[in-house]
Amino acid sequence: MQTEQYIKAGKIAAEVREMVRVKDWVGKTVFEICEEVENEIKKRGAKCAFPVNASINEIAAHYTAEPNDPITIKDTDLVKIDLGAQIDGYIADTAVTVCYDAQFDGLVQAAEEALGNAMSMIKTGVKASDIGRTIETTIKKMGFKPIANLSGHSLDQYTIHAGKSIPNIWSIGGFSLSENTAYACEPFVTTEQAGGFVRNGNIKNIFALNSRKKTKNVEADKLLDFIWENCNMLPFALRWLTKEWEEKEARELLDFLIKKKAVQAYPILIEVNEQRVAQAEHTFIPNENGVTVTTKAE
């Protein structure tokens, strides 16, 4: 367990998240947001663990900017900015929902409160299902709905989803938290009118390596090596490739690698009734006496 790297990455992720929280993003494009937030992570000495997600309104997760993405933030938008920092592959994953329209403050608050209540009960041996129950109870008490098919996850070196899930609703069974393992907890909250589930959208703009097996296409294999050297098995965006390749060529090579199953593409996730979604997230490491929340603000 590289606690030191986890804590370092967490401190950087927390600083950047707090900067994101107080900044006025209205009128900015999602391209500007993603690039600025990623640069802040790098400036502080970490690498990005994945492309910054800027998921607006009913899009719950997994939207990152396309190259020169023109989508612009309006003052009625609810924007979930999910960011990750990594040091030597040890990840801090954290998120905040920014909102400039008071009518959605309750949603944002419910996500933050559910996260806070979850963090305050954590220590080694606590059941993931009990964390889910706390999250669900908190959200429902405030008059909202948790999203049932999104969950937190265990983390490992160069691995964002390391096999274990931390649910946002009560569920039967499940595992108990082990000491010195890193996890991310991320309540997603939606309205009473929502279905409380997400479905896959048509847009896919986050990718990750599946295999490093050569394809016999020289340029595609060059791209495979580039991804491996820069991202390892962690997710990446097309934006990150256009520094080395023309956008059109990068897109074609990426499509080729997806067809060859060397790369996988992740769809955006949309609330089934197209209701708005808020999110809050921390990375934490349980111990006997409680918990180290690596992404806690100073």
For residues 144 and 132, give the distance between their C-alpha atoms in angstroms, rounded to a whole number. Answer: 15
The reply to whether 229 belongs to the active site is no
User: In this structure, what token pair is assigned to residue 218?
Assistant: 């020289």
- For the beta carbon of residue 287, count every other beta carbon within 10 angstroms: 15
For residues 280 and 108, give the distance between their C-alpha atoms in angstroms, rounded to a whole number. Answer: 8
Instruction: Rounding to the nearest 10 degrees, give the CA dihedral for residues 32, 185, 159, 65.
Output: -20
For residues 276 and 248, give the distance between their C-alpha atoms in angstroms, rounded to a whole number. Answer: 33
For residues 43 and 35, give the distance between their C-alpha atoms in angstroms, rounded to a whole number. Answer: 12
Catalytic residue among 58, 112, 281, 282: 281
The reply to whether 161 belongs to the active site is yes
The reply to whether 156 belongs to the active site is no
Q: Give the residue carrying structure tokens 């499940």.
A: 174
Catalytic residue among 82, 113, 136, 271: 82
Catalytic residue among 58, 69, 77, 153: 153
The reply to whether 282 belongs to the active site is no
- Closest residue by Cα to residue 263 from 229, 215, 219: 215
Catalytic residue among 69, 136, 186, 271: 186
The reply to whether 82 belongs to the active site is yes
Catalytic residue among 40, 66, 77, 93: 93
- Closest residue by Cα to residue 208 from 246, 155, 161: 161
Catalytic residue among 161, 219, 221, 252: 161
Phi then psi dihedrals of residue 21, to 5 deg:
-60, -40
28-to-21, 42, 71, 74 alpha-carbon distances in Å: 14, 21, 8, 9
Quote the DSSP letter at residue 196: S
- For the beta carbon of residue 243, count every other beta carbon within 10 angstroms: 9
Q: Which residues are catalytic?
A: 82, 93, 153, 161, 186, 281
